[in-house]
Amino acid sequence: MTSTLFDKIWQDHLVSELEGGESLLYIDRIFLHERTGSIAMQSLVDQGRGIKNPEHVFCTIDHIVDTTPGRTDMTLLPSGHEFIRSTRKLALDFGIQFFDINDPRQGIVHVVSPEQGIALPGCIIVCPDSHTCTLGGLGALGWGIGSTDAEHAIATSTLKSRKPKNMRITFSGVTAPGVTAKDMILHLIGEYQASGGQGYALEFAGEAVTNLSIESRLTLCNMAVEFSAFSAVIAPDEKTIEYVKGRPYAPAGKQWEQAVEHWQTLKSELDASFDAEIVIDASKIEPCVTWGTSPEHVIGINDTVPDPLREDNLEKRAAMQRALEYMDLKPGEQANKIHIDAAFIGSCTNSRLSNLQAAAEQLKGKRVAEHVKAICVPGSTQVKAAAEKEGLDKIFIDAGFEWREAGCSMCFYAGGETFGEKQRIITSTNRNFEGRQGPGNRSHLASAVMVAASAVEGHITAPKQSGENNG
């Protein structure tokens, strides 16, 4: 029986088959952050356990830390500084790779992993964060775990997991100008519902996927969890190899040659069997934005807010009605006329250098609408430095955006910073449920380029077409 890419990675890491249908897998690398990492490490201390391979465990400060210039250990989030200080002490005591607040390698875990070469094609990497699936853009297999599983992985370099089924999602054809990876994944979720990938590991394939840059592939895989999938992968190719080469934690010398030889085998066989297949004509996708409180509440920029009364499924109809009430929208409203109060560019979905470059193209020589509060948060300190070297920070600041330090920032609200109650936000993040960005906040998910264009207009609008589709 021929194998899929996912099958190959799984089999390469299989230690043993366990009773009850679970598998024991070898875990190559574990990444922690201060929100949950300190809990896992402290539990190991309490149990008197150590770390099997400290050189394979990484930790960054990203979730709780403030992103305002001049930040310190003190945070707007109550008790946030305690998480940071505890994580720092434990990481240093255990001798793991630690990227502290002022470390040039600091940043959002799923941005740091690829840029440092921590995530590599064919490896398994886990993290106590659901968007670890992002790393499938490099051909790595990553998924989010809880603190208890993190303890097990840290202590043993292994983890129990139940193997999911295989689903291939093929984006055939070529995307139209202005359509980004973010639009591709939103379109998928809108067409096949937020539960469409439940029980599956996804493989993204097709011409439109092959054409994506590595950073755009990371965006595509990032929201596999919003499709309820276990994880997602894209077969590594020459773009992948070129991206990984020379990164700090990537192999070098003879090991590099051996790694590349292996990576070139990481693809599904031509006659591999998938449990489910979805084919999407990428040429028909337009810039997308969410209107409701689920990632599946998606419409094209030229569409209107749907009418729940046209939905036959009563449960779904009720959910749509609740979403409209929360979002303060009415059926028939034009997507490209919905006013906004705020704009946010950031998160593990859309905060890489290419995203900021594309957004800056939308902002050159323009100003954010007077009533809009706009913030840009680079995904890592390295991204921030590269953007500033190109003068992107000046473009954002001149346009009226706040330019921040790296971190998760207002992707989620845990009692820290928010735009204010009941503000309507167009955001390049990945989740839009009630209160995600603050009490009563109404979040519209979109690409970074649409966020930038909308901030200027003061209402949701399509981005102007320019350059590579990296929003």
Q: What is the pLDDT of residues 280-292, one digit of tens each?
A: 999 999 999 999 9
Q: Do residues 171 and 282 touch, judged by C-beta distance below 8 A?
A: yes
Q: Collapsing DSSP states into helix, strand and coil, what is residue 84?
A: helix
Select from 67, 21, 59 the least CA-distant residue to 42.
Answer: 59
> What does the pLDDT average to over 400-407?
98
CA–CA distance, 175 with 181 (Å, rounded to integer): 9
Instruction: Give residue 115's pLDDT.
Output: 98
Q: Do residues 308 and 320 touch, judged by C-beta distance below 8 A?
A: yes
CA–CA distance, 438 with 426 (Å, rounded to integer): 13
- The correct answer on CATH 3.40.190.10 for the domain covering 25-159+240-258 is no
State yes or no: pLDDT of 465 exceeds 90: no
First CA to last CA distance, the chain:
40
Helix axes 392-399, 381-389, angle to 10 degrees: 90
Instruction: Give residue 415's pLDDT.
Output: 84
Q: Do residues 343 and 455 touch, judged by C-beta distance below 8 A?
A: yes
Q: What is the pLDDT of residues 204-237, one digit of tens each?
A: 999 999 999 999 999 999 999 999 999 999 999 9
Instruction: Give residue 470's pLDDT.
Output: 81
Instruction: Give residue 330's pLDDT.
Output: 98
Q: How far is CA 364 from CA 184, 189, 354, 367, 425, in A?
A: 26, 32, 16, 8, 21
Instruction: Give residue 1's pLDDT.
Output: 62
The pLDDT confidence band at residue 67, using thresholds 50, 70 and 90, is very high
Q: Can you give the pTM of this predicted structure?
A: 0.98
Instruction: Give residue 471's pLDDT.
Output: 75
Q: For residue 369, give both structure tokens.
A: 């609408």
Instruction: Give residue 467's pLDDT.
Output: 54
- Over its C-alpha atoms, the chain yields an Rg (Å, rounded) of 21
Fold of 288-457: Aconitase; domain 3 (3.30.499)
The pLDDT confidence band at residue 468, using thresholds 50, 70 and 90, is low
Pick 368 or 466 by higher pLDDT. 368
Give the burial class of 15: count Cβ atoms within 10 A of its Cβ; 0-12 exposed, 13-18 middle, 19 or more buried.
middle
CA–CA distance, 154 with 157 (Å, rounded to integer): 6
Which percentage of the chain shows pLDDT scores above 90? 96
**The architecture CATH gives domain 165-236+268-284:** 3-Layer(aba) Sandwich (3.40)
DSSP output for 334-403? BGGG-B-SEEEE-TTTS-SHHHHHHHHHHHTT----TT-EEEE--SBHHHHHHHHHTTHHHHHHHHTEEE
The torsion angles phi and psi of 7, rounded to 5 degrees, stand at -60, -40
Helix axes 80-94, 37-47, angle to 10 degrees: 50
Q: Collapsing DSSP states into helix, strand and coil, what is residue 47?
A: helix
Lowest mean pLDDT among 85-94, 127-136, 221-230, 461-470: 461-470
Which spans in 48-175 are helix H?
80-94, 109-115, 147-156
Helix (H) or strand (E) holding 174: none
Which percentage of the chain shows pLDDT scores above 70? 99
Q: What is the pLDDT of residues 263-281, one digit of tens each?
A: 999 999 999 999 999 999 9
> What does the pLDDT average to over 315-319?
97
* Domains of the chain, residue spans: 25-159+240-258, 165-236+268-284, 288-457
Work out whether strand 288-290 and strand 298-300 pair parallel, antiparallel, or are unpaired. Answer: antiparallel
> Same fold for the domain at 25-159+240-258 and the one at 165-236+268-284?
no
Select from 23, 29, 6 the least CA-distant residue to 161.
Answer: 23
What letter would DSSP give residue 412? S
State yes or no: pLDDT of 103 exceeds 60: yes
Half-sphere exposure of 371 (CA within 13 A, CB side): 10
Q: For residue 104, give both structure tokens.
A: 């040039």
Q: For residue 429, give both structure tokens.
A: 């993040």
